[in-house]
Chains A and B, each alone.
Chain A
């Protein structure tokens, strides 16, 4: 017997930057899997045709059983990793563990893009299998978070801390949902855990059931970046709206340009053994 989510609807090869991970093995190809389903019910979800299986009739079960050996072998040939993404990977914990067990023998790591809505026991379990996680923090207002997702935000923040404490590399993403997004509140919550956690700001676009509001203006995104930095976050990123500058990693000490990125790729990585080549500052990440 196995869980239905020991399966995937996709078998994609993406740049790890697209998940997004900017401080985990830049330029790595992620063999990406996703079984239908999510523990949240966000009204803005672009992926609702796969994530909202069980809630929305438009989402149908299209997944097929995964052979962990075949997936890991595919990733190994690419010198890549395996990513569980697009839907909620914590629903596929058994698959995650098997991929990690098979991958460990050949140097293939497993990463998650997750909503972070996990119990401490689930974090403990998943941390044994994962090299990196990107966790969505949509808001830190408990009532608003529950209204949007159906779940409390406290476990999400605890998961960030829990994974970080267990040496899993953590990055955070925030969709800038109008009326919900408060840059200062979220940046402060992340900085309180660790100011070196990279923060990715995702431009809101009207989607699914939240389709009446306007997309986030570029100036609003730039303002949020400034707030994140003012609060003390060392690394704040925007994938598209602010151009190449929004995607670049600069040294938090000397501001030297360290990593230049295209939209979904790394163009140049100037790090020297994880350090700034200009001033020697250690840059947090898994390089």
Chain B
């Protein structure tokens, strides 16, 4: 179950291939916490964390609206987008 909704996706930099692969992962860290829900009644908050890792640049995102986060991450043309599932 992911009642925070949009939750998190992570993208790694593209190093070839044309299609972004979606991977379903067990866990990704939260960047938005329940205390913030009331401050963003329209659910427009998006939070991103960009890191350089040995595998490449990693962008971790959290948002109330999954499609917004997905658009942002997809625009980076990542090799892979990881996401958590609800349930």
B41 at interface, CB cutoff 8 A: yes
- Knowing A49-B22, A207-B65 are in contact, say whether A85-B5 is a contact too (CB < 8 A): no
- Knowing A10-B24, A86-B87, A208-B67 are in contact, say whether A214-B1 is a contact too (CB < 8 A): no
Say which residue of A12, A34, A203, A243 sits within 8 Å of B5 (CB atoms).
A203
Q: Are B87 and A13 in contact (CB under 8 A)?
A: no
Query: Considering the complex, which residues of chain A in the window 51-105 have a beta carbon less than 8 Å from any beta carbon of chain B?
Result: 85-86
Show 6 residue pairs from A and B whose CB-CB distance is below 8 angstroms, ordered by the A residue: A18-B1, A86-B86, A113-B87, A203-B37, A215-B43, A241-B3
Q: Are B64 and A205 in contact (CB under 8 A)?
A: yes
- Knowing A10-B24, A10-B85, A46-B85 are in contact, say whether A215-B64 is a contact too (CB < 8 A): yes
Q: Is the interface of B mostly helix, strand, loop or mixed?
A: loop
Q: Are A207 and B85 in contact (CB under 8 A)?
A: no
Q: Which residues of A contact B (CB under 8 A)?
A: 9-10, 12-14, 18-20, 34, 45-47, 49-50, 85-86, 113, 173, 200, 202-208, 211, 214-215, 217-219, 238-243
Chain B contacts for A200, CB-based, 8 A: 1
Chain A contacts for B7, CB-based, 8 A: 46
**Nearest residue, chain B, Cβ from A215:** B43
Say which residue of A50, A211, A217 sits within 8 Å of B38 (CB atoms).
A217
Q: Smallest CB–CB gap between A286 and chain B, Å?
A: 19
Q: Are B5 and A215 in contact (CB under 8 A)?
A: yes
Q: Are A206 and B1 in contact (CB under 8 A)?
A: no
Chain B contacts for A242, CB-based, 8 A: 34
A85 to B1, CA, bound (A): 10
A217 to B24, CA, bound (A): 28
A33 to B32, CA, bound (A): 27
Chain B contacts for A12, CB-based, 8 A: 24-26
A34 to B87, CA, bound (A): 10
Q: Are A46 and B66 in contact (CB under 8 A)?
A: yes
- Knowing A14-B26, A46-B85, A50-B24 are in contact, say whether A203-B43 is a contact too (CB < 8 A): no
A113 to B1, CA, bound (A): 10
